[in-house]
Amino acid sequence: MTDAIAALADAMGILPRYTDQMGGTRTTERDTALALLAAMGVEVTTEAEAEDRLAAHRDTEARRRLPRFLILTPNATTRLPADPGDWGVTLEDGAQIEGRGRDLPPLPLGRHVLRAGGMETTLLTAPASLPLPPRGWGVTAPLWGLRPPECAGFGDYHDLRETGLSLARAGAGFLGINPIHAGFPTEPAWFSPYSPSHRRRLNPLHIGTGAGLSTGALVDYAAEIPAKRRALRAAYDAFTGDADFDTFCAEEGAALTLFATHQALSEHHGALWTDWPAHLQDPATATGAVPTDAIRYHQWLQWMAHRQLTDAQAALIAAGMRHGLYLDLAVGTHPAGAETWADRHWFAQGVSLGAPPDPFAPDGQRWSLAPLNPEALIAGHFALLADTLRQQMRYSRLIRIDHILGFDRAFWVPDQPGLPGAYVAMPRAAMLAVILIEAARAGATVIGEDLGNIPDGLQGALAEAGILGCRLMQFERDTPPETYPAPTLAAFGTHDLPTHAGWADGADIRARHAIGRIGDETLTRGLAARADEARAHAAMTGGEDASSMHRALARAGSALVAVQAEDVLEMAQQTNLPGTIDEYPNWRRKLPVAGADLGDDPRLRAIAGVMRDAGRAPTGA
């Protein structure tokens, strides 16, 4: 890479090299750096252009008296690192404070903006850390699978409430589910919860209506989603109005109206706004193109989802659960969905989030998810991140942040075929401070999925902040669960990994062989290695059965333990087989027992007793 381009890339946070999971060093190529710069809005094609942009960037930074953000202690006086002269602070609630010199008065918890000398500094007044939750346990389950095979349709927010109440009676402290972000209801084949259209809006397809067409072990989305949409429309047509609905729309304001406008447009022009007529691709010129009642319908859907989730969470807390719902924040959003249509400037363009090469993906991974642009994030005072977290915490006291590694550095893959990806540094300290602010307000506990190619220092920073990491028994085969650190959540696996029964038998390896992803030799080697791993695991836990695994899990040093419903019910097939779309029934498998009956299942009751004996209570009592 040429000197000016390399220097500009470095100044914008593009890492010049990284170590992959095989221990090899990867260098960022010139064309990759140029593509990633363009994605940030820094368009250069020549050395001279790079020199000009670099000089302008350095000049701006040289004129800056204060950093772009500062992390402060709430309600404590602060001495700024330099004298900005006359300054004004706009508090998060809109109140104004003016002053001069280096000393700031005590500021409340929140995100505030200091303006001085024509520059802005975000003031993040955050607690030093979140409190560690008392030892507890809960259950994770697939929302769509809460109706058993003999029941038509797929799980909804009513099923979620009843499942949680059943588990609360058994002593569980939380019920965890997949992301419930708004998806693409006009496309029945696009049902992955980890490829959302908008992460600050809710999935209306899980609104409880009683609708359902087909039975069977797998959800038939091609039939069920159109039927659910018809049922929702019929319910809206019978809606005569409600003061609470009017209040909800007023409080959600222009952002909800814009989302509803997008949803209405997608019904007529297709799911992806990039395929729409040019004048509709810009929210500014699309205003007025949608009838008022069409907008109102999609506002109503969000209100209904909000009401049902609010009711579910309130019921679980009232039933004695410490955390209630445990919600999952997806790592990114679809590049042509509702969120990027409405809030385009927050996202990098022409790149996707992904993962670097590893032994199972030698060319790396491309997730088709739009990354947040760190420059926009900082310039926008982290408002989008705060709003996204706040939306999750409206309905839960426990949230999981998928792939929190991206809060340290995010792997961007250019859209241009053949160009390898590279890492972009993110403002980790500020992003963690935003988490602390929102979690402190909501009284929530936060789990960060810290699995994969973990950056140096990230796990220490999470622990220091009181953000729990993850410990998975499948990956900790040589580590006794009793030694897991307290600021973690322990589990056997996740939705992307084999169940306990499937892992020991190599079900994931057999599944990849069955669809032609691996050959006979790899199958044989993989099964032999898995058998060795299973024997070592059984020796550590004291047995091959699920009961032994759950007893070991209960003894974990981790503050929280998550038990998978699939492991309770001894299911062999996992929820999702990463790297597949149609070759495997991802996100479709139902539980063999109704969610509402899960808490009364003898296997779950036995696990509840083990957890209780290990000192894990639903309220931490």
Closest CA relative to residue 161, chosen from 175, 173, 149: 175
pLDDT (average), residues 524-530: 95
Residues 230-244: tens digit of each pLDDT: 999 999 999 999 999
Q: Is residue 581 over pLDDT 60?
A: yes
Q: What pLDDT is stored for residue 359 in this prediction?
A: 67
**pLDDT band at 621; cut points 50, 70, 90:** very low
CA atoms within 13 A on the CB side of 280: 21
At 241 the three-state DSSP class reads coil
CA angle (488, 490, 492) in 5-degree steps: 155
Q: Is residue 156 over pLDDT 90?
A: yes
Residues 358-369: tens digit of each pLDDT: 766 777 889 999
* Cβ atoms of residues 47 and 5 within 8 Å: yes
Q: Is residue 619 over pLDDT 90?
A: no
Beta pairing partners, 469: 488
Fold of 136-466+583-613: TIM Barrel (3.20.20)
The region, left, alpha or beta by phi > 0 then psi within -120 to 50, assigned to residue 592 is alpha
Beta pairing partners, 533: none
Other beta carbons within 10 Å of 359: 8
Task: Return mean pLDDT, the chain.
Answer: 95
Residues 262-271: tens digit of each pLDDT: 999 999 999 9
* Cβ atoms of residues 487 and 468 within 8 Å: yes
Exposure string for 122-159, b = 16+ CB within 10 A, e = fewer: bbbbbbeebeebbbbbbbbbbbbbbbbbeebbbbbbbb
Instruction: Show me where the domains of the chain are located.
Output: 69-125, 136-466+583-613, 469-582
Residues 176-202: tens digit of each pLDDT: 999 999 999 999 999 999 999 999 999
Alpha helices in 181-239 (DSSP H): 221-237
- Tell me phi and psi for residue 14, to 5 degrees: -85, 120
Q: What pLDDT is stored for residue 565 in this prediction?
A: 98
Q: Is residue 145 over pLDDT 70?
A: yes
Write the DSSP symbol of residue 345.
G
**pLDDT band at 341; cut points 50, 70, 90:** very high
Q: Is residue 24 over pLDDT 90?
A: no
Closest CA relative to residue 547, chosen from 617, 611, 483, 595: 611
Give dist(CA 217, CA 148) in Å, integer.
7
Residues 109-132: tens digit of each pLDDT: 999 999 999 999 999 999 999 999
Q: Is residue 579 over pLDDT 90?
A: no
Give dist(CA 246, CA 249) in Å, integer.
5
**pLDDT band at 2; cut points 50, 70, 90:** low
Structure tokens at 595: 């969610």
CA 309 from chain center: how many Å? 18
Q: What are the percentages of helix, strand and coil residues in the chain, rounded to 5?
A: 40, 15, 40
Q: What pLDDT is stored for residue 620 in this prediction?
A: 44
